Amino acid sequence: MEISTLTMYHCLAFVWYFFVAYSITLIRTEERPSEVFLYGGQWKYLTVLNLVLQAVFYGVSFLADVLRLIKKLGCAKSVISSRDLLFSVLAFPLSTFVCISFWTLYTYNRELVYPKSIDAVIPLWLNHAMHTAVLPFALLEIFATPHRYPAKKKGLILLGFVAFLYISWVLWIYFVTGEWVYPLFALFSPAGLAAFFTGSLAVMVSFYNFGEFLNRMIWGQSKFCS
């Protein structure tokens, strides 16, 4: 993709994610269903955290494109490194995980992740913006430009660390409120919950490897000049 086209795409993607994340903040607390408790606000949901992450990623990508357009290649190089690390370790695996896990559980029993009462508060378009569109955006990014992946050990350690932080946040919320972020978690024993978290991390690792595989198949090992 030409740099000017890529710049426009990254700009539009950044604006889109910023708009979606901002739309979530417009939901007034008094409109929330009783199942959606207030502690932690929107920041307890992986979906919302992913929206913020995507906005940051596309903002960094747009900055890298602008620096390349104005020939500030020295500055662009460091920004591109940050862009690639964000995409490979977090943006692609997390978007894929959010989309696939949400719709799998939603199809099985939506009350476990997205109670029907939420439909009165969150419109259908916003639901799909949060849980569906994130995957096509992530796949399009792989086809749009090559990304340099870190060493496998480094990438997986960073991914595992971020997963650990979110799990710790979920457990802390339960400790403080006695309520689980997602009703699904209430179905598990402590051992079952540990197995669920471990399995979810394994799925995230598989998505990390899948992104790396696609990047290599499309761009090869040597084309990392973006």
- 8 A C-beta contact, residue 134 and residue 93: no
Q: What does the pLDDT read at residue 28?
A: 66
The answer, yes or no, to whether residue 123 has pLDDT greater than 60, is: yes
Q: What does the pLDDT read at residue 10?
A: 96
Mean pLDDT value across the chain = 90
Of 210 and 179, more confident: 210
Q: What does the pLDDT read at residue 105?
A: 94
Residue-wise pLDDT for 133-188, tens only, equals 999 999 999 999 999 999 999 999 999 999 999 999 999 999 998 889 998 999 99
Q: What does the pLDDT read at residue 222?
A: 47
Can you read off the two tokens belonging to residue 175?
């400790």
CA distances from 193 to 32, 33, 57, 77, 184 (A): 27, 25, 31, 42, 10
pLDDT confidence band for 224 (50 / 70 / 90): very low
First to last CA, the chain: 10
The answer, yes or no, to whether residue 20 has pLDDT greater than 90, is: yes
- 8 A C-beta contact, residue 10 and residue 54: no
Q: Where are the domains of the chain?
A: 5-219
Closest CA to 121 of 40, 51, 48, 32: 32
- 8 A C-beta contact, residue 78 and residue 41: no
- 8 A C-beta contact, residue 159 and residue 89: yes
Angle subtended at Cα 149 by Cα 147 and Cα 150, rounded to the nearest 5 degrees: 145
